[in-house]
Amino acid sequence: KFMELFPQALEYIKNKCLVIPNGIPETWFDNLHQEKIQRDVINFVYQGTFHARKNLLYTVDLMDCLNVNGVECKFRMYGAGPEQELIEKKIKESNYSSCYSMDSWSNSIEVIKKRYSEADIFIMLSSDETFGISYIEALASGVPIVYKKGEGVDGFFEDSEVALGLECEELEEDYRKIVSFLKKTGKNKQKTYD
């Protein structure tokens, strides 16, 4: 992104710079090999601010799409922010309102790790994301991630059983990609969906 903003600087610095991603404390890797509990319902989790750029309204639409097509899921959001009331209103209007929960943000590594231990997939479809340390914390907890292509950790991972990038432009297409991702991760123990 820096190079896009300052293309004239490219010839001077392209061979003199290296991108080093953010790191996380070693405590995130304690109990890394704990077995995940297999559940009938797929638990998605988000931890962050409730801003428009985080695309939580689109994420709620995506969760509704999964549920309406028979992929039973829950979505837990941890945080606060200016879009909280809009998100709450959208959830109340959903036919699957009981599948959503919202709670406050925590800075405690132990609390966040517990939240991730109860999750199957971390999802943050954030636009204008510089890196997104939450993705790395989730991965360190053994939780696969879903992110927006072209943002945050995009480019560090290929679409696989641990990471999936979505375009966030076409709901049906993103739904199909999520279903395929759930099959790869082994999280979808339910019937096969088309």
User: What confidence tens digit (pLDDT) does each residue in 97-115 have?
Assistant: 999 999 998 989 889 989 9
User: What confidence tens digit (pLDDT) does each residue in 123-172 have?
Assistant: 999 998 777 888 888 988 889 999 999 887 888 878 888 999 999 999 99
Contacts of 100 (CB under 8 A, 6+ apart): 60, 63, 74, 75, 76, 77, 91, 94
- C-alpha pair distances (Å), 117 with each of 10, 34, 54, 98, 113: 43, 9, 22, 21, 6
